[in-house]
Chain A
Amino acid sequence: MRLPLRTFRGQLLLVFVPVLALAQLTTWYLVGRFNEHEARHQIDVSLQQAAHSFRRVVADRNAHLRTGARSAARDHQIRQLVSGDDPATLASALQSLRGTTDSSVVVILDPAGKVVASAGRGAPEPTLAPRLITLAEADDSPRPSAAGYGNFGGVLHSVVLVPVQAGSEVIAWLLIGFRIDREFASDLKRLTGSDLLFIGENGDALAGTLPDSAHAPIAAALRTTRAHSALRQITINGGASLAAFRPLLTGKDQIATLALVYSLDEKLAPSRLAGRYLALVTVGALVVAAAIALAFARSLARPIERLAAHTERIGAGDYETRVAVDRADELGRLAGAMNAMSAGLAERDRVRDLLDKNVSPEVAARLLRDGATLGGEEREVTVLFADLRGFTTLSERLTPPELLALLNRYLDRMSGAIEAHGGVIDKFIGDAIMALFGAPVTQGDAPARAIAAALAMETALAALNAELAAEGRPPLAIGVGINTARVVAGNMGSSRRLNYSVIGDGVNVAARLQALTRVADYRTNIILSAATRAAAGPAGAASRPLGTVAVKGRSEPVEIFAVDAGNVTGNNPPSQTDTPFLS
């Protein structure tokens, strides 16, 4: 098992999974924060709306009671009862009014604020009447009245005060109110969705929709709340809630406080559920992403591994195997390219094989190294020409396959002898061989090598002749001409077909010298030119001078020398007069 980081799979996992996890976590966090922020905002709005609804409901009911109270205040019998001295009758009249107006308390106060008669439970707290009368007297509207909050027997009420007038004279005040109790709070909760708690002046809970256990934390929050508009977070029975406070005023005096409470946990429940789902989705997505990353890495790594193995095989020289990657993507193209490369390499190998067979290894190497270029250079080269004697007669006696087999056998032996001495077969011309020494690779001892090669050829031929004799065939004879001259060497031919070869007069001279070996008087199979002899050192010095001959194309006669097998020195010089003419 490789290290995770060193495999494609590991890298992909290491990149893919953390990025996805980070993205999901960030999303989760941001969505969570947004939801909480949104929930708080919604609660804020809800509580404001609840406060508004409370004010509206109270104002509506007050308006209702005010209308009823005004009607009662202008009732002639009420006026007469108010100014009379029959409080019992007045009290029962107020009881009737309480029923008619659907109110909780109805009280008649004298102009100074003293209770004259009342209906309903409890007496108003002593400060209530003076406060309301002051407010009503300050009201300069066409129909003065006052509204506020007050306690009757410890129960919070919303109250309205209207004057009872005879003409312009205020002869009494009519106070009417309804209870702000648990039932009222429950109604309002149904309307607004928010919990309510009414808190008295000294911090005690008066009425509300919340259980008693919630009262203490709310009252505690109220004690530390300065601005009534501020939203406070409180903990009720371990759950988080937001609370807003509104003062309940009579004029400028705060009678009680309305606490509006909304459970943050309740509001956040849907988004928390969504958060849990999101977490599940996150985990699922991570698993799926990891699986996809693994599958993808696998689909990528497998062909890459195959391609790597294939490359190793190519490196080892196997150009025949083809890699099979059936893909349309970059890897597919890479596989195709590698297959094409294998084919190309195989082709090059075949070409090289063919080159080796058709040109000498040296020429092939030089061609492969330098490229096949037309052109040339002038250089000193020793050219060796060898020809089979009496081949025409031989070819008449043999069948073509026999002839070709014999010829190839001969050429093979001769080639071996020449190449053994560093010669390069330039070409076979039928039964003739043209070989080069000192080209294309420069050799300092090219002439000596040529001479040695010629002698080796004689030796090889002797061996071949022995074989032929054993086969009952006539022996073969050769003539070899060697000349050293400056020639033009290079790739010759058309742009499609080239041969490395040499041209020049020196080549013709070598061919002529070879032909001279047929002259029986020379008694030699190998003839050198003076130039070769001079350049060949001891081997050249051992050659036997044959005198001079006129060579076609040459204005001056050429001095020639014979190389004799076994005794390269001290042979009889050929006759000076015998100067055959070479055609």
Chain B
Amino acid sequence: MTAAALPRRSDRTLPRQIESAIEFLRLLSKRPSGLIGFIGIVFFLVLAFIAPIFVPNQVNPDVTALYETPSAQHLLGTDNSGRDVLNQIVQGGKEIISVALITAFLTTLIATVLGAISALVGGKFDAILVGIADIVLTVPPLIVLIVISALARPTNFLALALVLSSLGWAGLMRQVRAQVLTLKERDYVEAARSLDLGLTHIVFREILPNMRSYIVIHFVLAMTGAIYAQVALIILGLVPFSGKNWALMLYFANTQGAFYFKDAFWFVFSPILAIVLLQLSLVLFVNALEDIFNPRLRSS
């Protein structure tokens, strides 16, 4: 009677997830910077996790070739012990990205759970939790992390991730709480007959889908924060684990005074470039995500 019927799609039998993934990529391709970011992320994931399988640890560094400038043999030069820089770059991303992923996961988990519970329980409990979140948001994060690390001495991934996520949950927690509060109001009005159990159930099955965009965006942002913090902590020497790590390269460069040494430029610049490009990919990707998710949110 009114609008002309939309043309029916030919029978598509792809599962819903793949269809939405394709749709997502299509939307992403409309935003070139976001696409570049996405490609960058994929690149770094491959570089950090898959490439090391093919690129072995160096066995015999050539001790005569110290701080060499880039050549055909050593594309990014060598460090102070003759080790190939490019090799170290390939090996060095795994830890950083792993810690970032774990931290982002923990932060998101804590924030979502605390935010939802706080909104559901309400009252004094809620007020206290919000107060704590406010305080956590106010303190200068890196300084606190440094003091905590100096005192607590994290020695492995998980410990470091825990330390990093001790501060990062506050922002998302407040957003989750705000969302749950609005949903809580609606449910009270419409479904006073729901059992309390039912209410919790409905809320958890309704917020999470609605907040998917928030959560994904926050996850990626938490990763960038985790990278920023852990690199600083490592460069300061507060995280004493061995292993290949871009930030650790910079720690060594610092202790060896390589910053002021012209020949050591590529040894110092390469890890910086790697970290910056990784951060950049994440940031460009997240900007595109906000752009993609926002128009829909705004129209609702």
A binds B: no
Q: Which residues of A line the B interface, CB within 8 A?
A: none
